[in-house]
Amino acid sequence: NAGVMQNPRHLVRRRGQEARLRCSPMKGHSHVYWYRQLPEEGLKFMVYLQKENIIDESGMPKERFSAEFPKEGPSILRIQQVVRGDSAAYFCASSPETAGNTIYFGEGSWLTVV
């Protein structure tokens, strides 16, 4: 049973470009979460999605960031017009539908903005 798959693992973007990070949840998991880990900090919740629905985006920056989890295909975290401060590790996690279950993390996507 494959774990949470994220790609790319490492992404370098110039300031002003767009970054797209993809996440395929574990098989049988319908809930996806995105977290961001800035250097020297813990993980911060960004957004919680189910298929075709954003459930909680209270941790998302107001501008330039968006997330989706379409009916088919992986979840996408999109960052438009990246700035140096967006450089971070972005972790995706997934969980089954049943409440009370543990979430499982992917290996992360490291974004570097130059």
Interface residues with other proteins (CB under 8 A)? 4, 31, 33, 35, 41-45, 48, 56, 91, 93, 95, 99-108
What's the closest the beta carbon of residue 102 comes to other proteins, in angstroms?
6
Nearer to other proteins, 17 or 68 (CB): 68
Q: How many CB atoms lie within 10 A of CB 73?
A: 10
Minimum CB distance to other proteins smaller for 14 or for 100: 100
Taking the complex as a whole, the smallest distance from the CB of residue 112 to other proteins amounts, in Å, to 14
85 or 100: whose CB is closer to other proteins? Answer: 100
Q: Minimum Å distance from CB 47 to other proteins?
A: 10
Cα–Cα distance, 48 to 37 (Å, whole number) = 16
Taking the least distance from each CB to other proteins, the nearer of 33 and 113 is 33
